[in-house]
Amino acid sequence: MSQTIRFPEILDIARRDGKVTVEHLAEHLGVTLQTIRRDLSELAEVGKLERVHGGAVLPSGTVNIAYEERRRLNAEGKMAMAKACAALIPEDCAIFLNIGTSTEAVATELLHHRNLLVVTNNMNVANILTRNPDCEVIVTGGALRQSDGGLTGDITTAAIRQFKFDIGVIGCSAIDADGDILDFDLREVGVSQTILRQSRNTMLIADHTKFKRTAPARIGSLAEIDTFFTDAPVSQTLEKNCSLWRTKIQLSGALHSAPP
């Protein structure tokens, strides 16, 4: 198999799983371990991957992954989490859905809910929910981020303060080992913090890839979240802390892998 065929396949697997291993890729692609190591090094040199012991992960740092790549990343896991999240959202309630491909998946799972009031700063969420005639949608306004349809800034947070939500559903870009919830855009962080303050019940939806990444801005802690939806077991330390914080961890379509 030529390199021009291997590279897209390697990146597709990395987007789906958040990481790749040398041994798995060599077996999957039918090439030697040395060939895969060389491929991963070349992909790392051009910024497509970040080398780690035994393989590579998607790059992280101070800039988020492009929106279209985030949409493709672990789509199956996001769908499972979204189904679990939507199942705990009752009809006849007011909710907030913020920016992110995971919250967009939740919006899709709410298409058959009745008598919802959904406030959002996500143009994609608003467009999805226009297909539900029993859902009233309010868009906050704010500075439009053209890369992903997100609305942020002072106008956005001022609009959110006008409400008290039954449920606030947020996503994030990364979660560190201490349970801190992280993101890249400071204006988006301010919006997420306001959502948490204005919600009686808080939900975070974040898949296993978020434990393999980092981001510079802190939204808050899992201690501030009532229900955390993810698709793989968390570390024993974090599981213990969540128990102390009374944060419920909801595993949905859990991967059969070791805790991060």
Average of pLDDT values for 242-254?
91
Q: Residue 202: in which H helix or E strand, if any?
A: strand 199-205
What's the start-to-end Cα distance of the chain, in Å? 32
Q: At what angle are helices 101-109 and 75-87 packed, to 10 degrees?
A: 50
Residue among 56, 66, 68 nearest 13 (CA) = 56
Q: Which domains, ranges and CATH numbers included, belong to the chain?
A: 3-59 (1.10.10.10), 68-251 (3.40.50.1360)
Q: Which two tokens stand for residue 211?
A: 């434990």
* Closest among 190, 253, 252, 257 to 220, alpha carbons compared: 190
Answer whether 189's CB lies under 8 Å from 217's CB. Answer: yes
* 220 DSSP 8-state letter: E
Q: What is the spatial distance between Cα 75 and Cα 96, in angstroms, rounded to a whole number? A: 22
Distance of CA 17 to the CA centre of its chain: 13
The whole-angstrom separation of Cα 59 and Cα 61 is 7
- Nearest Cα to 106, choosing from 205, 232, 249? 205
CB distance 55 to 33 below 8 Å: no
**pLDDT value of residue 63:** 47
What pLDDT, on a 0 to 100 scale, did the predictor assign at position 257? 52
Question: What average pLDDT score do residues 244-248 get?
Answer: 96
pLDDT digits (tens, 9 = 90+) for 28-86: 999 999 999 999 999 988 878 888 788 887 765 544 555 566 666 677 889 999 999 99
pLDDT-derived band at 185, boundaries 50, 70, 90: confident
Strand order in the sheet with 50-52: 19-21, 55-57, 50-52
Q: Does the pTM of the predicted model rise above 0.85?
A: no
Compare 113 and 148 and report the one with higher pLDDT.
Answer: 113
